[in-house]
Amino acid sequence: MREIIFDTETTGLDPRAGHRLVEIGCIELIDRRESGRTFHAYFHPERDMPAEAEAVHGLSIQFLSDKPLFAAKVDDLLEFLGDAPMVAHNAAFDFGFVNAELARAGRPALDMTRMCCTVQMARKLHPGAKHSLDALCTRYGIDRSHRVKHGALLDAELLAHLYIEMTGGRQIGLGLAAQAGGPQRAAVAAAPRPAEPARPFREPRPHAASAAELARHSEFVAALNQPLWHDSP
């Protein structure tokens, strides 16, 4: 089964107010394991970057000034997404921004039936608890110490670990340990099993019945009144 875990960064909270998508990061899962294929891109937002948004993700308009427009990368993105289910944290937010950019590029919107929201999953699994990505990573023992600011690809990688744990898939230490050479990979490893203490060797004990025990058993059986094994078949 192919699934896409993804996250976005934006200039604000509402595409209807003119806010734009500036980063997207996607992770491909095959049968609940990372395949190694990813899609990551920054986009020029064609507007300013509010200070409060930059404080969250650290992407300045100066950094984004030479990045392509969304329309220039839309074909690559759609090819990567294919028709797979798409998983995001607070997915309605991410789908809203991606669909707004697709509309600007003259492309059909993503079908909302493809959407899987890990916030909604967390509310069912842990009612009354905190459901932020940070809080859930702490709950499931996922290392996020390298997460200083939000980043679409980094957050998608953390979410991939979280999604697998929340769906009862593979254990983190078996399928999702950090890969060498990836500075943004989530450093997750299975805890080593403690060594079992040495046990002294004991000679096997005899279990055969003694002559006296056999005799008492015969007397007991002879005294039974209409035992079942005497019934005719």
**Tens of pLDDT along 118-172?**
999 999 999 999 999 999 999 999 988 776 567 899 999 999 999 999 998 655 4
Higher pLDDT, 217 or 157: 157
User: Residue 182 above 50 pLDDT?
Assistant: no
Q: Are 47 and 20 in contact (CB under 8 A)?
A: yes
| Mean pLDDT confidence for 170-191 | 43
In whole angstroms, what is the distance from residue 37 CA to residue 150 CA? 21
> Residue 35: which residues within 8 A CB-CB, separation 6 or more?
28, 29
The full set of domains in the chain, from first to last, is 2-175 (3.30.420.10)
CA–CA dist 54, 12 (Å, integer): 9
Q: β-strands 2-10, 86-88: how paired? A: parallel
Give me the catalytic one of 150, 161, 217, 230. Answer: 150
* Residues 6+ positions from 53 with CB-CB distance below 8 Å: 10, 11, 12
pLDDT value at 104 more than 90: yes
User: For residue 161, which of 189, 129, 125, 180 has the smallest C-alpha distance?
Assistant: 189
Look at residue 225 in the predicted model and tell me its pLDDT: 78
Q: Between residues 94 and 213, which one has the greater pLDDT?
A: 94
Residue 218 identity (one-letter amino acid)? S
- Signed CA dihedral, 181, 183, 189, 192: sign only: positive
The Cβ-side half-sphere exposure at 27, using a 13 Å CA radius, reads: 29
- The three-point CA angle 82-87-92 to 5° equals 105
Average pLDDT over the chain, rounded to an integer: 85
Roughly what angle, to the nearest 10 degrees, separates helices 70-81 and 91-104? 120
Residue of 78, 70, 25, 26 lying closest to 44 (CA atoms):
70
Helices within the chain (DSSP H only):
51-57, 61-64, 70-81, 91-104, 118-125, 133-139, 152-166, 172-175, 211-222
- Told to judge if 150 belongs to the known catalytic residues of this protein, a careful annotator would answer yes
Average pLDDT in the 69-92 region? 97
pLDDT tens readout for residues 16-65: 999 999 999 999 999 999 999 999 999 999 999 999 999 999 999 999 99
